[in-house]
Amino acid sequence: MKAFFIDGYGKDTGRIGHLPDPEVGPDEVLVKVHAASVNLLDSKIRKGEFKLILPYRFPLVLGNDLAGVVLRVGDNVRQFKPGDEVYGRPSEDSMGTFAELIAVSRDALALKPVNLDMAQAASIPLVALTAWQVLVETAQLKKGQKVLIHAGSGGVGSIAIQLARHLGALVATTTSTRNVEWVKALGADVVIDYKQQHFDTLLHDYDVVLNSLDAGTLEKSLKVLKPGGRLISISGPPTAQFAKAQGLNWGLQQVMGLLSYGIRRKARKQGVSYSFVFMRANGEQLREISALIESGVIKPVVDRMFEFNDTAQALSYVEQGRAKGKVVIRVT
């Protein structure tokens, strides 16, 4: 099969070549990939930022979102059959959607929403699951609460705004001047133009903050929360609890505890909590998201399409941080 892969961390920007077709385990589904989307996570993995917690082998096929057609199912798989159109986010230890074929755990897949094409569907899994696991699972966001979603025009932000609005929350977000009206159209009630305004002086008494930006923004976000509020970050720093949940050794648990000690201490002083969320594959949650998509509650946001041969350029474009929504690669 053709695939886009790297042979080492760091300066290797990746290349397209031929690799053996994947083997299919008894609990796996072989999918012919029609489209895959690009995430900042792909760039971070390529640079080796997660090598301590995700020990990958080379050659390493990148890619964490897919939409495609089932070719074959393992002996234990009953919920899918050849010909099914599916989408999903493979588990972190079996990623590799920038390829013509991939074997995916049955628990990481869902039937593709009927009202989406392959490109639209491929844009959804990672960002929608991230938004779900932050707002529904971790924050347990309720009607009438106030949530600040940073980077509202990004992949996660654009979906999180729609989901939070559906949950009945008052939604604030940060974005650049050129995207203010655009994020309002997604459902944001309050929009902070970070080029001209300071969110930490304008917003007060919020219940939840979803942070996807840098350490400075993370610390400033504490000022926005009311006592008992929740600061949830998907960009770090990780916590000892996260390390333990990942099955990492005691030493790494201590290291991650130290990395997050400063922000956890400051959060405690203000009477709020800090959590780190590293999105995990979950086909059951994806099916709930599919229902929201098919009912029109959540709409995909696709910024640009790239052909498979231009995967390196797609990664470079995403690294610039200017995409509105998601960037998709047409594989087949």
Question: Given a cut of 90, is residue 31 above it in pLDDT?
Answer: yes
Please give the Cα distance from 331 to 275 (Å, whole number).
36
Residue 4: pLDDT band by 50, 70, 90 thresholds?
very high
Mean pLDDT of 216-229: 98
Has domain 2-124+300-330 been given CATH number 3.40.1360.10? no
* pLDDT at res. 178: 95
Interval 270-307: pLDDT, tens = 999 999 999 999 999 999 999 999 999 999 999 999 99
- Lowest-pLDDT range, 48-52, 134-138, 200-204, 241-245? 48-52
Residue 86, helix vs strand vs coil: strand
* pLDDT at res. 125: 98
Interval 91-121: pLDDT, tens = 988 899 999 999 999 999 999 999 999 999 9
Q: So where are the chain's domains?
A: 2-124+300-330, 126-276
Check whether the bond before 237 is cis (ω within 30° of 0): yes
Question: Given a cut of 90, is residue 261 above it in pLDDT?
Answer: yes
Question: Given a cut of 90, is residue 226 above it in pLDDT?
Answer: yes
What's the one-letter identity of residue 264?
R
Question: Given a cut of 90, is residue 132 above it in pLDDT?
Answer: yes
The model's pTM: 0.96
Mean pLDDT of 10-22: 92
* pLDDT at res. 51: 86
Please give the Cα distance from 153 to 173 (Å, whole number).
9
**87, two tokens:** 């989408």
Question: Given a cut of 90, is residue 62 above it in pLDDT?
Answer: yes
Strands (E), 83-175: 85-88, 101-105, 109-111, 146-149, 170-175
More reliable by pLDDT, 12 or 269:
269
Mean pLDDT of 141-159: 97
Domain 126-276 sits in CATH at 3.40.50.720
Question: Given a cut of 90, is residue 53 above it in pLDDT?
Answer: no
Please give the Cα distance from 35 to 118 (Å, whole number).
6
Question: Given a cut of 90, is residue 331 above it in pLDDT?
Answer: yes
Average pLDDT, the chain: 96
For the stretch 36-69, what's the b/e string if a residue is b when 16 or more beta carbons lie within 10 angstroms of its beta carbon? bbbbbbbeebbeeebeebeebeebbbbbbbbbbb
Q: What are phi and psi of 139, to 5 degrees?
A: -80, -25
Residues of the chain above pLDDT 90, percent: 93
* pLDDT at res. 164: 98
Question: Given a cut of 90, is residue 55 above it in pLDDT?
Answer: no
Question: Given a cut of 90, is residue 12 above it in pLDDT?
Answer: no
Burial class (CB in 10 A: 0-12, 13-18, 19+), 228: exposed
